[in-house]
Structures are given as C-alpha cells and as structure tokens.
Amino acid sequence: MTYEVVIPAAGRGKRMGADRNKLLLELKGIPVIVHTLQVFERDPLCSAVILVIHPDDKKTLEELIDQYHLTKITQMVTGGAERQHSVYEGLKKAAAKIVMVHDGARPFISQEVIHKLAEAAASKGGAIAAVPVKDTIKKVKNGTVTETVERSDLWSVQTPQAFLLEVLMGAHEEAVRTDFLGTDEASLVEKTGGKVAVIESDYDNIKLTTKEDLVFAEAILAKNGQ
C-alpha cells in the first residue's frame, strides 16, 4: 500500500534556543530535515512528500532538495499559525488513499514501522506510532502528588500518524468548523468518533526539541554506524 506523507517543517526552534529553524541545524554535517526526508526518499512505498514550510526557509530548502537529490517532494506549502493548520494545508495537496503526517524533527523513524502503519491505516482507517511509557507517572497539583497513575496502559505517542485521507480530511474539516485545536492528528480523529490503532515503535524515534536532544541524536547516529 503506497502512501503520501505530509511533513510540517515550519517551526522556528524556540525551545531549541536556535536562531533559525531547528530543522536546518546539522547532525554529522547534514541538516536534520534532510535526515528525515531521506527516510522517505529511500522507502519504495512512499509516492510523494508534501513539505510544509515557513516562507523564510523556502530558498534554503530548495537548495537542500537539489543538493541531496530529494526527488519525492512534489509540493512545498506555506504553513499556518499552528502545527494543526500547517498539516491541514498540506493535506489539501494530498491525493493518495493513505496519508501520513510526520514531524520533520524525527529523523530516526524506521521503515518497518512506517510499513506497519500503512497497513494498519488501510485496514482500520488510522494508526499511530507509539512506545510504552517507561517511567512512573504521577499526577501533581500545586506541587504535591495526588495520584500514581497505572502505567501499563500508557503509551508515549510519536509520528508518523497514518490515516485514510478521507478520514483525516474529515476530522480536520470538523476541527475547523468547531474551532477545535488538538494535540495531534489522532486527537482530531478521536473527537469525530474514529478509532485509531497503535503500532509499537522504538525509543530511538525521538523528536528533537531541546539542545540536549541533539546530543542524543548524535549518539543514535553513532550507534547506527552513521
């Protein structure tokens, strides 16, 4: 089952403390966004990449696409005020039956997980990558623990998130109509009553958000022999 992927890449990297888009920061001499795009460039099931960008980055990204021979990027779309709005703009350009949404700041997603997501989305309508929570989780109010949460049913959600295009577009349209802002694509689908399957991913599929994450990313690259 082939798919298209929407990659929001319009963030400004405030939590990273960077003076530019954090996706343009380098890991082993290659920009983060290129590492991410190369995953889908190598995947034979990926038919197209829709990149959602900030206008200030357009020229730089065009140069990187040419430099690294990234042939699957069919559209570059200007993003919106929030990530959800940016994804919606990207979805408007999608045409495949299966569409995925993947953070540009997650360069370590495996092809195996991507393929499982595509299969699950085709049969169930939607699926997300996630890993079981490892730490003890506590509810806290006013600086005091109020409850220790049973973690056996808790999962830490990642991307990609994969859906039938009609399912995800319908959920986004309903979110626009009701002025609902969700935390991820799955939350929009859940709000419309849709079911979302969970595909177990791995803990290497981190999102690069802070400076410390760059250190972890370098270690993952070294572990993988890159």
Task: List, in order of start, the domains of the chain with CATH numbers.
Answer: 3-223 (3.90.550.10)
- The tens digit of pLDDT for each residue in 57-104 reads 999 999 999 999 999 999 999 999 899 999 999 999 999 999 999 999
Query: Can you give the pLDDT at residue 1?
Result: 85
Burial of 30 (0-12, 13-18, 19+ CB in 10 A): middle
Q: Which tokens is 13 given? A: 């990297």
65 touches 24 (CB < 8 A): no
Residue 11 has pLDDT above 80, yes or no: no
pLDDT at 211 over 70: yes
pLDDT higher than threshold 90 for residue 14: no
Q: How confident is the model at residue 17 (pLDDT cuts 50, 70, 90)?
A: low
Helices (H), 46-149: 58-67, 83-91, 111-124
Mean pLDDT of 18-40: 92
- DSSP codes joined into one string, 171-226: HHHHHHHHT---SSHHHHHHHTT---EEEE--TT-----SHHHHHHHHHHHHHTT-
* Span 46-60, average pLDDT: 96
Contact 141, 44 (CB under 8 A): no
